[in-house]
Structure 1
Amino acid sequence: MTTEDALAWVERTVGPARVVGELLGGWTSTMLALETAAGEGLVLRLMTREPWRTHGAALTTRESEVQRMLADTPVAAPRSVALDADGSSCGHPAHLMTRLPGSVHTDRPSAADLRSMVAVLVGIHEVVPTIEVRTYQSWAFEAKYVVPPWSTDDGLWEAAFDLLRTPPPAYEPTFLHRDFQPRNLLWSGGRVSGVVDWVETSTGPAWLDVAHAASNLAVAHDAEVAETFAQEYAGRTGRERQPYLEVMDLVGFLPPPGRPGFLTLPQEHAGAEAWLRLALGRL
């Protein structure tokens, strides 16, 4: 099946629609910005990339269910419109949703930006799920415990792997976005206008969302930005920092054997090691 098949499904669902463009930055899916004849903005997720496509039915179903639940909360998330979870109509697992205003910012965030991010994350963590939400899964599984070839301190990574071979800390279950990071935030008028990409939503320790955002900030910018974000969240919520989870999240960026790595630039490597060093130093 082709994109034309997917668009035919969209038109059977909402009427005539045209492709405005492709949204960039996602790792798992082809994301098409659409506009209906009435001028309504929509987004079509086509889960085209492996290994996510293999699990696409569960991922798109989760996103649809979570978005429907969030419609009754203050969280600025897209609203689910239609679902082709098995891809029988579109050729790939597909989810049609509303398009939120705003755009992704990749520039170094200011202190005010970081405070805005924290405020949004606090709001997500205040959600009490009214549907069943799965328990989080660690992305730092044993097969990834291989020192990366770009390492400048192999002992640092070995210490991280040794830590993760011990049990994680106990936690109070909290509603998590699970992929909260700058690429999944939309900005408009100097504020966060929306949070997208709800396929990994879980319950788990609140600090895991903080850790994931901090890891992304460290590799995209530097450990100082990551530290400012984490401190802002801790100061606002009073939650205790969890360096174990910071280590776990950062190690999750390493590739499984035989797969290309997510971190490819020297700046990303330096940021990852600097953040890992800080996290281990807090234990």
Structure 2
Amino acid sequence: MSNHDEAVAVRPLTLAWLSRHLEAGERVVRTEALHGGITAEMRRLTVAARDGGTRDLVLRSFVDPFYVRQAEDWLNREAGALTLLAGSGVSAPGLIAVDLTAAHCEYPSLLMTHLAGRTVLDDEGVDRRVPALARQLVAIHALRPATRPRKYVALTTADTVVVPKDADVAAWASAIDVIRRPTPPYEGRFLHRDFQPGNVLFDVPPSGPGGARIAGVVDWAATSWGPADLDVAHCSANLALLHGPAWGLRFAEAYEEAGGVLATSASERLYWQVRDALAFSEEVRWVARPWREAGRTELTTRAVGERLDAYVTALMDALG
């Protein structure tokens, strides 16, 4: 496929729109689909200048009709977050342009700079990555935006939880009862709201993932205002499903060791940890798919469901 043909992979109206936001003499010469996301189509764009130099950008487009309905809100939040993060000390893509309502593009879209690095989902080195993830999340929660993003949205209810086949029914019943309780009081923080290994990029040395260092954080479309516990719970659940329940339990400890502040009472912490863990029950197969595409082929829907059951049971045993 020629460079010209690859550039055409970007839809015509979108290509014309993003070309207006390039530097004089620049043009898109190559595109590459980025995998791992669920809600949006992501493309890496290679842009060439007249002097022969190149740089990479990233285009996010919401094309699925189900997600297009929410695209304006998500893109508005991401654009606001990227603006806030510029110069904040938290490494994130830089905002170039956004078309919230597809006024210029075929679909609602956002154009941003490309961050170097890659996701690391391997078990190797997880003991060193967990403290690094915790420190990064503490830095995010320390941000104080002039305008708060929208309040967080709970991703599940007691009546929509899907209990996995062969699960510990008693543990799940107790967990569901936990989220029937009133929401605990909390001190609001700026939340990423989808902070997890799949949205953190690492510089990985030739020696392997054991020495990886965080290069930046991506996917800010769900930024919200809410309890730090919720971001911690979300990353904890992801770690539990990727690496085993013990790592889910470990992350909250690492967050506090890094200087983060969580709810004071065990019952309040349990509420947030369980609420986010149970939300995964409704989307196990969607969560497992991008992990398999990234090389974790052993993480079948069944395997992830079993880990979720083990994690919920561990939460009820350890925190309940």
- TM-score, structure 2 normalization: 0.81
Give me the whole-angstrom Cα distance separating, in 2, the residues matched to 1:211 and 1:217: 10
The within-5 A match list for 1:1-283 is 3-14=11-22, 15-38=26-49, 39-108=54-123, 109-148=125-164, 150-189=165-204, 190-237=212-259, 239-240=261-262, 242-255=269-282, 262=287, 265-281=301-317, 282-283=319-320
Deviation of residue 88 (structure 1)? 2.7
Deviation of residue 110 (structure 1)? 2.4
Give me the whole-angstrom Cα distance separating, in 2, the residues matched to 1:36 and 1:262: 32
- Mapped contact 2:201–2:215 kept (Cα < 8 A): yes
Deviation of residue 125 (structure 1)? 0.8
Residue type of the alignment partner of 1:141: T
SS at match of 2:258: helix
Give me the whole-angstrom Cα distance separating, in 2, the residues matched to 1:26 and 1:40: 22
Give me the whole-angstrom Cα distance separating, in 2, the residues matched to 1:16 and 1:261: 35
Detail structure 1 runs of 4+ shifted over 6 Å in the superposition.
Answer: none
Give me the whole-angstrom Cα distance separating, in 2, the residues matched to 1:260 and 1:225: 21
Change over 3 Å in CA distance of 1:85–1:151 after alignment to 2: farther
SS at match of 1:218: helix
Give me the whole-angstrom Cα distance separating, in 2, the residues matched to 1:238 and 1:12: 42
Deviation of residue 87 (structure 1)? 1.4
SS at match of 1:243: helix
Give me the whole-angstrom Cα distance separating, in 2, the residues matched to 1:51 and 1:251: 23
SS at match of 2:282: coil
Deviation of residue 119 (structure 1)? 1.1
Pairwise CA RMSD of aligned residues? 2.1
SS at match of 2:134: helix
Q: Which segment is superposed worse, 210-219 or 272-281?
A: 272-281
Deviation of residue 56 (structure 1)? 0.3
- Mapped contact 1:75–1:124 kept (Cα < 8 A): yes
Q: Which segment is superposed worse, 31-40 or 199-208?
A: 31-40
Q: Which segment is superposed worse, 5-14 or 24-33?
A: 5-14
Residue type of the alignment partner of 2:214: V
Deviations 1:72-131 (A, max 9, x none): 310101111001111132221100001011011111242211111111111101111122
Give me the whole-angstrom Cα distance separating, in 1, the residues matched to 2:286 and 2:94: 32
Give me the whole-angstrom Cα distance separating, in 2, the residues matched to 1:276 and 1:162: 13
SS at match of 1:229: helix
SS at match of 2:66: coil
Deviations 1:178-201 (A, max 9, x none): 000011000114211010000000
Change over 3 Å in CA distance of 1:74–1:273 after alignment to 2: same
Q: Which segment is superposed worse, 55-64 or 44-53?
A: 44-53
Gap runs ≥5 in structure 1: none
- Mapped contact 1:86–1:92 kept (Cα < 8 A): yes
Give me the whole-angstrom Cα distance separating, in 2, the residues matched to 1:113 and 1:261: 24
Gap runs ≥5 in structure 2: 1-9, 205-211, 264-268, 289-299
> How many residues are aligned here?
280
Change over 3 Å in CA distance of 1:93–1:165 after alignment to 2: same
- Mapped contact 2:14–2:105 kept (Cα < 8 A): yes
Residue type of the alignment partner of 2:96: V
Deviation of residue 227 (structure 1)? 2.0
- TM-score, structure 1 normalization: 0.92
- Mapped contact 1:69–1:131 kept (Cα < 8 A): no
Change over 3 Å in CA distance of 1:261–1:144 after alignment to 2: farther
Deviation of residue 278 (structure 1)? 2.0
